[in-house]
Amino acid sequence: MKTLEGRTALVTGGSRGIGAAIATRLATEGAAVALTYQSARDRAEDVLRAIRAAGGTAHAIRADLGDPVQVRDAVAQAAGVLGSIDVLVNNAGLLRHGPIDELTLDDYAQTMAVHVQAVFVAVQAALPHMREGGRIISIGSNLAVRVPAPGFALYAMSKSALVGLTNGLARDLGPRGITAALVHPGSTNTEMNPADAEHADSERALVPLGRYAAAEEIAATVAHLAGPGGAFINGTAVVVDGGANA
Protein backbone atom coordinates (compact mmCIF):
# COMPACT_ATOMS: atom_id res chain seq x y z
CA MET A 1 0.00 0.00 0.00
CA LYS A 2 1.24 3.50 -0.81
CA THR A 3 1.52 5.32 2.50
CA LEU A 4 1.06 8.84 1.04
CA GLU A 5 -1.77 8.18 -1.40
CA GLY A 6 -3.88 11.31 -1.75
CA ARG A 7 -1.32 13.53 -0.02
CA THR A 8 0.66 16.46 -1.44
CA ALA A 9 4.26 17.48 -0.82
CA LEU A 10 6.57 20.39 -1.56
CA VAL A 11 10.31 19.67 -1.53
CA THR A 12 12.67 22.63 -1.73
CA GLY A 13 15.91 22.06 -3.58
CA GLY A 14 14.49 18.94 -5.16
CA SER A 15 16.39 18.83 -8.44
CA ARG A 16 19.39 16.81 -7.26
CA GLY A 17 21.03 14.98 -4.39
CA ILE A 18 19.04 14.37 -1.25
CA GLY A 19 16.20 16.59 -2.45
CA ALA A 20 15.72 14.63 -5.66
CA ALA A 21 15.76 11.37 -3.72
CA ILE A 22 13.15 12.73 -1.31
CA ALA A 23 10.86 13.99 -4.06
CA THR A 24 11.11 10.65 -5.86
CA ARG A 25 10.47 8.61 -2.72
CA LEU A 26 7.45 10.66 -1.66
CA ALA A 27 6.02 10.29 -5.17
CA THR A 28 6.67 6.54 -5.04
CA GLU A 29 4.64 6.47 -1.82
CA GLY A 30 1.75 8.11 -3.67
CA ALA A 31 2.16 11.82 -2.94
CA ALA A 32 1.67 14.46 -5.62
CA VAL A 33 4.93 16.38 -5.48
CA ALA A 34 6.16 19.86 -6.29
CA LEU A 35 9.87 20.63 -6.11
CA THR A 36 11.88 23.79 -6.37
CA TYR A 37 15.12 24.37 -8.23
CA GLN A 38 17.24 27.47 -8.65
CA SER A 39 19.08 27.07 -11.95
CA ALA A 40 19.31 23.41 -12.95
CA ARG A 41 16.10 23.20 -14.97
CA ASP A 42 17.40 20.17 -16.85
CA ARG A 43 18.05 18.31 -13.60
CA ALA A 44 14.60 19.18 -12.32
CA GLU A 45 13.08 17.89 -15.56
CA ASP A 46 14.98 14.62 -15.12
CA VAL A 47 13.37 14.16 -11.71
CA LEU A 48 9.93 14.98 -13.09
CA ARG A 49 10.35 12.51 -15.95
CA ALA A 50 11.37 9.73 -13.59
CA ILE A 51 8.43 10.36 -11.29
CA ARG A 52 5.93 10.61 -14.14
CA ALA A 53 7.32 7.50 -15.84
CA ALA A 54 6.54 5.59 -12.67
CA GLY A 55 2.97 6.89 -12.71
CA GLY A 56 3.44 9.74 -10.24
CA THR A 57 2.51 13.42 -10.32
CA ALA A 58 5.24 16.07 -10.14
CA HIS A 59 5.78 19.75 -10.88
CA ALA A 60 8.91 21.94 -10.86
CA ILE A 61 9.03 25.55 -9.68
CA ARG A 62 11.99 27.86 -10.19
CA ALA A 63 12.96 29.86 -7.09
CA ASP A 64 15.98 31.44 -5.50
CA LEU A 65 15.40 30.48 -1.88
CA GLY A 66 17.71 33.20 -0.67
CA ASP A 67 14.96 35.64 -1.67
CA PRO A 68 11.97 35.56 0.70
CA VAL A 69 9.64 36.90 -1.99
CA GLN A 70 10.53 34.00 -4.26
CA VAL A 71 10.10 31.55 -1.38
CA ARG A 72 6.55 32.79 -0.79
CA ASP A 73 5.78 32.72 -4.50
CA ALA A 74 7.09 29.16 -4.81
CA VAL A 75 4.89 27.96 -1.96
CA ALA A 76 1.87 29.71 -3.48
CA GLN A 77 2.57 28.12 -6.86
CA ALA A 78 2.94 24.69 -5.27
CA ALA A 79 -0.35 25.07 -3.40
CA GLY A 80 -1.97 26.20 -6.63
CA VAL A 81 -0.95 23.18 -8.68
CA LEU A 82 -1.33 20.65 -5.86
CA GLY A 83 -4.45 22.05 -4.21
CA SER A 84 -2.88 21.86 -0.75
CA ILE A 85 0.45 21.24 0.97
CA ASP A 86 0.29 18.29 3.34
CA VAL A 87 4.04 17.80 3.64
CA LEU A 88 6.65 20.57 3.49
CA VAL A 89 10.24 19.36 3.18
CA ASN A 90 12.78 22.14 3.70
CA ASN A 91 15.79 20.61 2.00
CA ALA A 92 17.54 23.30 -0.03
CA GLY A 93 21.09 23.98 1.10
CA LEU A 94 24.49 25.32 0.22
CA LEU A 95 27.97 24.92 1.65
CA ARG A 96 30.19 27.81 2.63
CA HIS A 97 33.08 26.50 4.69
CA GLY A 98 36.56 27.53 5.74
CA PRO A 99 38.34 29.00 8.76
CA ILE A 100 36.06 31.35 10.67
CA ASP A 101 38.41 34.29 10.14
CA GLU A 102 38.28 33.82 6.37
CA LEU A 103 34.51 33.63 5.94
CA THR A 104 32.80 36.81 4.80
CA LEU A 105 29.59 38.52 5.76
CA ASP A 106 28.30 37.53 2.33
CA ASP A 107 29.01 33.88 3.18
CA TYR A 108 27.10 34.38 6.41
CA ALA A 109 24.17 36.15 4.74
CA GLN A 110 23.78 33.56 1.99
CA THR A 111 24.03 30.63 4.38
CA MET A 112 21.52 32.00 6.85
CA ALA A 113 19.15 33.12 4.10
CA VAL A 114 18.88 29.64 2.59
CA HIS A 115 19.24 27.47 5.68
CA VAL A 116 17.19 29.49 8.18
CA GLN A 117 15.25 32.40 6.66
CA ALA A 118 13.90 30.31 3.78
CA VAL A 119 12.64 27.64 6.17
CA PHE A 120 10.94 30.24 8.37
CA VAL A 121 9.30 31.93 5.38
CA ALA A 122 8.28 28.64 3.72
CA VAL A 123 6.61 27.43 6.90
CA GLN A 124 4.68 30.68 7.27
CA ALA A 125 3.61 30.57 3.62
CA ALA A 126 2.63 26.88 3.71
CA LEU A 127 0.49 26.93 6.84
CA PRO A 128 -2.63 28.44 5.21
CA HIS A 129 -2.54 25.51 2.78
CA MET A 130 -1.81 22.80 5.37
CA ARG A 131 -4.55 20.76 6.97
CA GLU A 132 -4.63 18.79 10.19
CA GLY A 133 -2.16 15.96 9.81
CA GLY A 134 0.35 18.17 8.04
CA ARG A 135 4.06 17.54 8.38
CA ILE A 136 6.95 19.99 8.36
CA ILE A 137 10.25 18.19 7.86
CA SER A 138 13.53 20.06 7.63
CA ILE A 139 16.91 18.70 6.58
CA GLY A 140 19.67 19.67 8.96
CA SER A 141 23.07 18.04 9.40
CA ASN A 142 24.82 15.89 11.96
CA LEU A 143 27.29 18.78 12.14
CA ALA A 144 24.60 20.61 14.11
CA VAL A 145 25.22 18.07 16.88
CA ARG A 146 28.97 17.51 16.64
CA VAL A 147 31.65 19.21 14.55
CA PRO A 148 34.58 16.78 14.15
CA ALA A 149 36.75 18.92 11.86
CA PRO A 150 37.63 22.61 11.43
CA GLY A 151 36.05 24.86 8.84
CA PHE A 152 32.37 24.14 9.48
CA ALA A 153 31.44 26.69 12.14
CA LEU A 154 29.11 28.71 9.90
CA TYR A 155 27.44 25.67 8.37
CA ALA A 156 26.96 24.03 11.78
CA MET A 157 25.55 27.24 13.25
CA SER A 158 22.96 27.55 10.50
CA LYS A 159 21.82 23.96 10.84
CA SER A 160 21.72 24.24 14.63
CA ALA A 161 19.19 27.05 14.27
CA LEU A 162 16.76 24.52 12.82
CA VAL A 163 16.75 22.63 16.11
CA GLY A 164 15.22 25.55 17.97
CA LEU A 165 12.84 26.33 15.13
CA THR A 166 11.63 22.74 14.97
CA ASN A 167 11.10 22.58 18.72
CA GLY A 168 9.15 25.82 18.64
CA LEU A 169 7.03 24.71 15.69
CA ALA A 170 6.10 21.54 17.55
CA ARG A 171 4.67 23.65 20.37
CA ASP A 172 3.00 26.20 18.11
CA LEU A 173 1.48 23.78 15.63
CA GLY A 174 0.88 20.61 17.61
CA PRO A 175 -2.55 21.82 18.79
CA ARG A 176 -3.46 22.21 15.11
CA GLY A 177 -2.52 18.60 14.38
CA ILE A 178 0.63 19.57 12.46
CA THR A 179 3.99 18.07 13.40
CA ALA A 180 7.54 19.31 12.89
CA ALA A 181 10.64 17.15 12.73
CA LEU A 182 14.26 17.48 11.69
CA VAL A 183 16.48 15.00 9.87
CA HIS A 184 20.23 15.28 10.42
CA PRO A 185 22.09 13.43 7.64
CA GLY A 186 25.71 12.54 8.00
CA SER A 187 28.11 12.11 5.09
CA THR A 188 25.88 11.39 2.10
CA ASN A 189 27.04 10.65 -1.42
CA THR A 190 25.89 13.68 -3.42
CA GLU A 191 27.45 16.22 -5.73
CA MET A 192 27.99 18.50 -2.74
CA ASN A 193 29.91 15.79 -0.87
CA PRO A 194 30.82 12.92 -3.19
CA ALA A 195 32.01 9.64 -1.73
CA ASP A 196 35.05 9.70 -4.04
CA ALA A 197 36.23 13.18 -3.05
CA GLU A 198 39.75 13.77 -1.78
CA HIS A 199 38.57 14.09 1.82
CA ALA A 200 36.08 11.20 1.69
CA ASP A 201 38.30 8.66 3.43
CA SER A 202 38.62 10.91 6.46
CA GLU A 203 34.82 11.20 6.63
CA ARG A 204 34.35 7.45 6.25
CA ALA A 205 36.81 6.90 9.10
CA LEU A 206 34.37 8.66 11.44
CA VAL A 207 31.48 6.34 10.54
CA PRO A 208 31.28 2.98 12.36
CA LEU A 209 29.56 1.50 9.30
CA GLY A 210 32.54 2.62 7.21
CA ARG A 211 30.63 4.20 4.34
CA TYR A 212 28.66 7.20 3.13
CA ALA A 213 24.88 7.14 3.15
CA ALA A 214 23.01 6.93 -0.12
CA ALA A 215 20.61 9.81 -0.70
CA GLU A 216 17.80 7.24 -0.85
CA GLU A 217 18.50 6.28 2.77
CA ILE A 218 17.88 9.85 3.91
CA ALA A 219 14.75 9.92 1.74
CA ALA A 220 13.47 6.77 3.43
CA THR A 221 13.62 8.47 6.81
CA VAL A 222 11.76 11.50 5.45
CA ALA A 223 9.10 9.23 3.94
CA HIS A 224 8.59 7.55 7.31
CA LEU A 225 8.18 10.92 9.03
CA ALA A 226 5.74 12.03 6.32
CA GLY A 227 3.68 8.84 6.51
CA PRO A 228 1.41 7.22 9.09
CA GLY A 229 4.38 5.91 11.06
CA GLY A 230 5.58 9.45 11.73
CA ALA A 231 2.32 10.79 13.13
CA PHE A 232 3.57 10.98 16.73
CA ILE A 233 7.13 12.12 15.98
CA ASN A 234 7.14 15.80 16.83
CA GLY A 235 9.68 18.40 17.93
CA THR A 236 12.68 16.16 17.58
CA ALA A 237 15.64 15.39 15.35
CA VAL A 238 16.49 12.05 13.75
CA VAL A 239 20.21 11.60 13.08
CA VAL A 240 20.96 9.45 10.03
CA ASP A 241 24.76 9.28 9.99
CA GLY A 242 25.74 5.64 10.40
CA GLY A 243 26.87 6.29 13.96
CA ALA A 244 29.35 9.08 13.21
CA ASN A 245 28.07 11.12 16.15
CA ALA A 246 27.92 8.16 18.53
DSSP bridge partners of 181: 137, 236
Task: Tell me, yes or no, if 108 is annotated catalytic.
Answer: no
Model confidence at 18, pLDDT cuts 50, 70, 90, reads very high
pTM tops 0.95? yes
The reply to whether 3 falls in a domain is: no
**Contact yes or no for 136/90 (Cβ under 8 A):** yes
The reply to whether 113 falls in a domain is: yes
The reply to whether 2 falls in a domain is: no
**Contact yes or no for 168/223 (Cβ under 8 A):** no
Model confidence at 1, pLDDT cuts 50, 70, 90, reads confident
How many domains would you assign to the chain? 1
Number of residues written out for the chain: 246
- Structural domain range at position 158: 8-240
Q: What's the mean per-residue pLDDT of the chain?
A: 97
Of 14, 5, 169, 170, the C-alpha closest to 78 is 14
The tens digit of pLDDT for each residue in 217-226 reads 999 999 999 9
Segment 95-99 mean pLDDT: 95
Q: Using the predicted structure, report yes or no on whether residue 64 has a pLDDT greater than 90.
A: yes
The reply to whether 245 falls in a domain is: no
Q: What is the CATH number of the domain that holds 117?
A: 3.40.50.720
The reply to whether 224 falls in a domain is: yes
Tell me what pLDDT residue 87 has: 98
Give 163-170's long-range contacts (Cβ < 8 A, gap of 24+): 163/237, 165/116, 165/119, 165/120, 165/138, 166/136, 166/138, 166/235, 166/236, 166/237, 167/235, 169/123, 169/136, 169/235, 170/234, 170/235, 170/236
Segment 166-178 mean pLDDT: 98
The reply to whether 1 falls in a domain is: no
The reply to whether 102 falls in a domain is: yes
37, 108, 155, 212: which one is catalytic? 155
The reply to whether 15 falls in a domain is: yes
